[in-house]
Amino acid sequence: MKLIVGLGNPGNEYSKTRHNVGFMCMDEICKYFNVSLEQNKFNGLFGQKIINNEKVFVRLVFDIHNETMIIGGDGTSTNPFILKGGATPCQ
């Protein structure tokens, strides 16, 4: 199992700025692998796909960067998602 997380800041003021490069990259990854992001879970969009015989979860996080676990915050929306899925941050 793999989890790919795209970080960005919510709101139109950050759209198409360096603050949302993570969102833009995830858009391209989802287009390339034909992953639909439809399920709104843990304050973000979520999708999944089997790629090369492995389950891959794709997630767009709607928290402000400083509030996400990956950047060093408390992981308000990302941490429970990881724990529920059984992944560890190093995966």
Query: Within a 10 A sphere around the Cβ of 55, how many other Cβ atoms?
Result: 12
The catalytic residue among 10, 14, 19, 79 is: 19
Q: Classify the C-alpha dihedral 24-89-43-56 as positive or negative.
A: positive
DSSP class of residue 19?
A: G
Beta-carbon contacts of 15 under 8 Å, excluding residues fewer than 6 positions away, are: none
19 is catalytic: yes
By annotation, the residues acting in catalysis are 19
